[in-house]
Amino acid sequence: MPEMSEKVKKPSSIIVVGMAGSGKTTFLQQLNAHLHSKEKPPYIVNLDPAVKNLPYEANIDIRDTINYKEVMKQYNLGPNGGIMTSLNLFVTKFDQVLNILEKRAPTVDHILVDTPGQIEIFQWSASGSIISDTLASSWPTCIAYVIDTPRSTSTSTFMSSMLYACSMLYKTKLPLIIVYNKCDVQDAEFAKRWMSDFEEFQQAIVQDEGTSAEGATSGYMGSLVNSMSLMLEEFYRHLDFVSVSSVTGEGMDDFLKAVDSKAQEYENDYLPEVERLREIQKQEKEKQKEVQLSKLMKDMHVSKEDAPAETISDAEEDEYDGELIEPDEEEPSEEAAQDILRQYRISLGIPDDVSDEKLLGLLTERMQK
């Protein structure tokens, strides 16, 4: 009995995001060193066009193709706008990045992606969606959301970070890991307790905001944070969170375990949803193609005799883009439509490599003229 071929293991893609100053780049540097010590060097992509010096060697660097200062000068932009525009320009060629990654992927276990501190790239910018969706379509992908732990000791700052994380998860729909960085300066146990114990977080809010004569938290801020913490309680249950130090290397093994867990979550939850959406898009595309063919042939007054014997007949009222087709009209078959398109290709001298969609557009323009 022949042996079954072993399933090829895909590398895990890790997109490192976080606020400016949270320690993303130093975290990635330490993670890179840790993986090298295990003789499992990662493949690194740097997407920060404004960084001057990287503490690691990037395999793909946006700075090799995009001059950040020239972008600012040419488009009359400030620093943030220059970074956003640089990324938007870079992702127009992201298919080339993907081709390089696909060639290197069989030789690595991890693909690390460093990003700028402008977190809005993954909040509303098209470039962030393109990057995350493209990577996730090929490999198990997760978001590593790096948080500055010493700054998160304030309940309002902590809640702000959690809301950003929630927004990131909602936007990308990818597995997310909360990385409490700088734990050598501030232990992150307080944050983990706040995420698991609502009452303890309430007490922390009282201490931060003070109490009124009635014993309730003072001001609208306490009430707002209270309400948001209740809303995020369910959100916390679906997160993995680890404590790390980008200086000492503490917690790197815990982080890699969380990545493995999220890779399994990707296979079980994210991938089936992607396949479902792809199938829906494919069906929609085929449907639109049939609609355009049908409309074009009706505009050209294709008669029943011109079409092959096999036609779609006895149809009830079908609705295409709000236009009803009368029941007594018979739609030409797909074979008849393709035959018509072939004749037009020959008569107009349109090469075969031009898609049917483009051909339909050309014919429609000619008819409108």
Q: Which domain covers residue 342, as residue numbers?
A: 336-368
Q: 0.75 exceeded by the pTM? A: no
263, 284, 310 — which closes off a domain? 263
Q: State residue 253 phi and psi, 5-degree precision.
A: -65, -40
Examine the domain organization and report whether 349 and 251 are in the same domain.
no
Q: Distance between CA atoms of 32 and 322, rounded to whole angstroms? A: 56
Examine the domain organization and report whether 200 and 342 are in the same domain.
no
* Residue 38 within any structural domain of the chain: yes
Examine the domain organization and report whether 257 and 347 are in the same domain.
no
Give 224's Cβ-side CA count (13 Å radius). Answer: 10
Q: Distance between CA atoms of 159 and 168, rounded to whole angstroms? A: 14
Angle CA 206–208–212, to nearest 5:
45
What would you measure as the largest C-alpha separation in the chain, in angstroms? 90
Q: Distance between CA atoms of 339 and 235, rounded to whole angstroms? A: 55
Examine the domain organization and report whether 30 and 166 are in the same domain.
yes
* Residue 291 within any structural domain of the chain: no
Q: Distance between CA atoms of 116 and 212, rounded to whole angstroms? A: 42
Task: For residue 145, give Cα distances in angstroms to 131, 243, 265, 279, 343.
Answer: 16, 12, 17, 31, 56
* Residue 278 within any structural domain of the chain: no
Examine the domain organization and report whether 77 and 177 are in the same domain.
yes
324 beta partners = 319
Q: What CATH number did the domain enclosing 47 receive?
A: 3.40.50.300
State how many domains the chain has.
2
How long, in residues, is the chain? 369
**Per-residue pLDDT tens listing for the chain (369 residues):** 434 434 556 899 999 999 988 999 999 999 999 999 999 999 999 999 998 889 999 999 999 999 999 999 999 999 889 999 999 999 998 999 999 999 998 899 999 999 998 888 888 888 888 999 889 888 999 999 999 999 999 888 888 888 888 888 888 888 999 999 999 999 999 998 888 887 888 888 878 766 443 434 455 666 766 677 777 777 787 788 899 999 999 999 999 999 999 988 888 888 887 788 778 878 887 787 777 777 766 665 544 444 444 444 444 444 444 444 444 445 555 666 677 667 767 766 677 777 777 767 776 666 555
